[in-house]
Amino acid sequence: MTPEEIEAAVQAGMPQTIEDLEGLAAIPSVAFPGHPEAPVHEAAAFTERLLRAAGLPYVRQIPIEGSFPAVFAEAPAPPGAPTVLLYAHYDVQPAGDPALWKTPPFEPTRVDGVLYGRGTADDKSGVITHVAALRTFQGRFPVGVKVIIEGQEEYAGERLQHFIEADPELVRADAMVIADVGNPYIGDPALTTSLRGMAAFTVEVRTLAEAVHSGAFGGAAPDALAALMRMLTAMHDEAGDVCVPGLTRGTFSGQGCTEEELRATAGVLDGVSLVGTGSVADRIWASYAITVTGLDVPDVHGAINAVQAVARARVTIRIPPSGDAKTALQDVTDFLRKIAPWGVQVSFSDFVTGAGFRAGAGGRARGAINRAMAHAFGQAPREVGQGGSIPLVASLSRLFPEAEILLYGAEDDHASIHAPNERVVLDELRRVITAEAIFLSEYAQG
Ligand SMILES: [Zn+2]
């Protein structure tokens, strides 16, 4: 098929594609504890049917230990053709407060070419991208195809990661497409070539056998909470840049958003400044970030007049792809131990680390997706980063160092993923599907 024929076929298939997305997004497949499990299984079965209908000869659900099934599909490669793995996930974030939604979260609603509903973007748009792109070929795929659609990415993605690490052959491919990101702006194509890794730990400070009266002892007794606050604030300088020795700042070679755009998307209040220095892309894609994500301290309500004996904090570090998570964890915990005041007792626990990702210079797959996006969007993609982590991508790139990994999708920066009023722009979805279908055809041709 020529790119023009593929584009026309995708366009002609859009009514079916939208109906499929509406059907899938109507299923509240929230794979978090405390939510009903039946809809998650229903979404798996729905996904399985979609992949069969897209012409894949082998489709099955794969049990994942301690998790919901992944849906796996396969079509053998024509002689001499490479194989492509297509990834997305069918589970979604909880809807949160329904009062914040303008339309019911699990009743997908179309308004002026935009489909609203939980999961319409993250990541049921990814599932539908693969289904619709594959359907274009009517069962005669130009490349070998493997599809894996995860069932618990939003809550416990490490379970699929462990599964794949135990049996990598199942997903072995020459190119891997992760359709769970998007373009910064509608119609402005981008490939995500850099992801930050992460590390986290809990720090505990102890000063006294137990809390003591702040009138009788305050002023002389060492307060664990005061010590912890000094330690936590010492990790940033006046400008808000991380100042822990060893955590050096990076630069991002592509172009990111402006400070004004970041202020708007993050909802920064009037008169409040951003933190850190350098370009926004350098700060959120190529440098370390440290955030205190939890504190164990007495609640304001019911606080008593006492000097605290113990205080705890949860600390998260975002790691640029050039950095190493374990080294960063060591650097930060060493620093906190070193600057702890008054000889307080400091201990660390509950460590988590996950690697980041940086795409290689690019080979045959990268050339094919560049041409495909240029056709579908009218311009070649630019490179963007993402400040968040997708641990599965780090695993795939470690297990298959030769494979080219491509990240793209229909979740633009204003898709409100994980937030109320999540949405996908249907024209954007069409362009992403077109790009993926042309990519499969171009990649086969070399
Ligand atoms: Zn996602």
Query: pLDDT (tens digit, 9 = 90+) per residue, 201-251?
Result: 999 999 999 999 999 999 999 999 999 999 999 999 999 999 999 999 999
Asked whether residue 415 carries a pLDDT value surpassing 90, the answer given is yes
- Contact between 386 and 372 under an 8 Å Cβ cutoff? The reply is no
| 152-156, 325-329, 346-350: the lowest-pLDDT one | 152-156
Token pair belonging to 249: 């700042």
Give the count of beta carbons closer than 10 Å to the beta carbon of residue 75.
Answer: 22
Q: How far is the CA of 209 from the centre of ligand 1 (A)?
A: 46
Asked whether residue 389 carries a pLDDT value surpassing 80, the answer given is no
The CA distance from 332 to 234, in Å, is: 11
Q: How far is the CA of 151 from the centre of ligand 1 (A)?
A: 11
pLDDT at 333: 98
Q: Per-residue pLDDT averaged across 1-11, rounded?
A: 97
Q: Per-residue pLDDT averaged across 262-275, rounded?
A: 94
Kindly list the distances between the CA atom of residue 142 and the CA atoms of 366, 398, 411, 441, in Å, as whole numbers in the listed order.
Answer: 17, 27, 27, 6
Q: How far is the CA of 221 from the centre of ligand 1 (A)?
A: 48
Q: Is the pTM above the cut of 0.85?
A: yes
Asked whether residue 387 carries a pLDDT value surpassing 90, the answer given is no
Kindly list the distances between the CA atom of residue 168 and the CA atoms of 144, 175, 201, 242, 406, in Å, as whole numbers in the listed order.
Answer: 17, 14, 29, 37, 18
Q: How far is the CA of 410 from the centre of ligand 1 (A)?
A: 11
Catalytic residue, from 91, 122, 174, 442: name it.
91
Asked whether residue 13 carries a pLDDT value surpassing 90, the answer given is yes
Tally of CA atoms within 13 A in the half-sphere of 440 that contains its CB: 31
Q: How far is the CA of 396 from the centre of ligand 1 (A)?
A: 16
- Which residue type occupies 199? A
Per-residue pLDDT band for 265 (boundaries 50, 70, 90) equals: confident
Percent of the chain with pLDDT over 90: 91
Catalytic residue, from 150, 153, 154, 404: name it.
153
- Contact between 113 and 49 under an 8 Å Cβ cutoff? The reply is no
Catalytic annotation present for 427: no
Q: Per-residue pLDDT averaged across 267-271, rounded?
A: 95
Give the model confidence (pLDDT) of 108-153 as tens digits: 999 999 999 999 999 999 999 999 999 999 999 999 999 999 999 9
- The whole-chain average pLDDT of the chain stands at 95
Q: How far is the CA of 40 from the centre of ligand 1 (A)?
A: 15
Q: Per-residue pLDDT averaged across 155-178, rounded?
A: 93
Q: How far is the CA of 177 from the centre of ligand 1 (A)?
A: 13
Q: How far is the CA of 152 from the centre of ligand 1 (A)?
A: 10
The CA distance from 140 to 57, in Å, is: 11
pLDDT at 260: 94
Q: 272 burial class (0-12, 13-18, 19+ CB within 10 angstroms)?
A: exposed
Percent of the chain with pLDDT over 70: 100
Give the model confidence (pLDDT) of 311-320 as tens digits: 999 999 999 9
Token pair belonging to 72: 């796996």
Catalytic annotation present for 402: no
- Contact between 244 and 332 under an 8 Å Cβ cutoff? The reply is yes
Q: How far is the CA of 215 from the centre of ligand 1 (A)?
A: 51
Per-residue pLDDT band for 340 (boundaries 50, 70, 90) equals: very high
